[in-house]
Structure 1
């Protein structure tokens, strides 16, 4: 029995040494995820969000550019039409002025002839009639010229007056 008690004591001592000297073994579990390291760089999700944001801004800018171009093309077309209208009005005015100059020259020539006839003491009713007709035609041409000028002025004022009426 001494042997048994001696063995028991040796086993107890060995177990005590094992329990104090050795860390108990643990069953390894799943490895914990490493803590994210802050590298100062954005993540993929952040980059995709920024890319989508930039795409939206680009789309908005492209839409604005398209709208500006459409407005510009419309304005250019309006200005071209206005230029054409003004060119036609100028041509009409120039034609009226040319006609007025022609009539005035004819009137001057006729008046000179009438003056010479009166100085000679010869009163020619046909010359007087021609002078009166020429003067009447000159007055009509002047009237047409004045009317064309008034219409051109009114055409320029109409958009301004319409704008004031719509603002009232």
Structure 2
């Protein structure tokens, strides 16, 4: 039994030394990064993610505004193209009318020339032909009418060419007045 007591004493002494040794040891360092550093990195990443989300949201808004402006520009361009097509068709009609009036004038001038030649020949032969004088007068009247029609067609062509410019100038003046009023308000 004395051996048991001796063993107990030795075990107790060893346990005391172990306890004393453990008290002097510090807690072991955790493996991996420091939780405080991890939280700081996580906070920084979350702030950056929020910042990027705001930037993305701003860009989406700017993109939507640009798309709306592009749609407005396309609509305006389409309206202008339609107006230009209408204007071109009107000018084509005006030009066709002017051309037909010029053809009429040329025919009337040729008729007048022929009538005058016939009248001159009759006068040279000493013939007094009243129907030739009437024919010459009618040809001259038709030439005057054709000349007047050509002048009207030319005036219509000029007015048709000026009308879009006048409309555009009126629209620009209205826009300028609106801008001036809005800046004064």
Relative to total residues, which structure has the larger helix share, 1 or 2? 2
Q: State the alpha-carbon separation in 1 of the partners of residues 51 and 171 from structure 2.
A: 54
Aligned with 1:142 (options 140, 143, 147): 147
Aligned with 2:60 (options 55, 64, 67): 55
Q: Say whether residues 1:133 and 2:119 are aligned partners.
A: no
Q: CA RMSD in A?
A: 3.1
Q: State the alpha-carbon separation in 2 of the partners of residues 64 and 161 from structure 1.
A: 27
Aligned residue runs from structure 1 range 18-33, under 5 A:
33=36
Q: State the alpha-carbon separation in 2 of the partners of residues 165 and 60 from structure 1.
A: 25
TM-score by length of 1: 0.73
Cα deviation for residue 43 of structure 1 reads 2.0
* Equivalence for 1:111: 116
Say which SS state the counterpart of residue 43 (structure 1) adopts.
helix
Note if contact 2:91-2:161 (Cα within 8 Å) is conserved in structure 1: no
Aligned with 1:74 (options 63, 76, 79): 79
Q: Say whether residues 1:121 and 2:119 are aligned partners.
A: no
Q: Which runs of 5+ in 2 are unaligned?
A: 1-19, 28-33, 178-185
* Equivalence for 1:6: none
* Cα deviation 1:32-82 (Å, max 9, x = unaligned): 7445249x9772211211111111111011111111100110000000000
Q: State the alpha-carbon separation in 2 of the partners of residues 161 and 60 from structure 1.
A: 32
* Equivalence for 1:91: 96
Q: State the alpha-carbon separation in 2 of the partners of residues 166 and 45 from structure 1.
A: 46
TM-score by length of 2: 0.66
Say which SS state the counterpart of residue 121 (structure 1) adopts.
coil
Q: Which runs of 5+ in 1 are unaligned?
A: 1-17, 26-30
Q: State the alpha-carbon separation in 1 of the partners of residues 88 and 121 from structure 2.
A: 49
More deviation in 108-117 or 90-99? 108-117
- Give every structure 1 segment of 4 or more consecutive aligned residues whose post-TM-superposition deviation is greater than 3 Å: 31-35, 155-168
Say which SS state the counterpart of residue 57 (structure 2) adopts.
helix
Q: Say whether residues 1:151 and 2:149 are aligned partners.
A: no
* Cα deviation 1:83-121 (Å, max 9, x = unaligned): 000000000000000011111111111111111111111
- Aligned residue pairs total 144
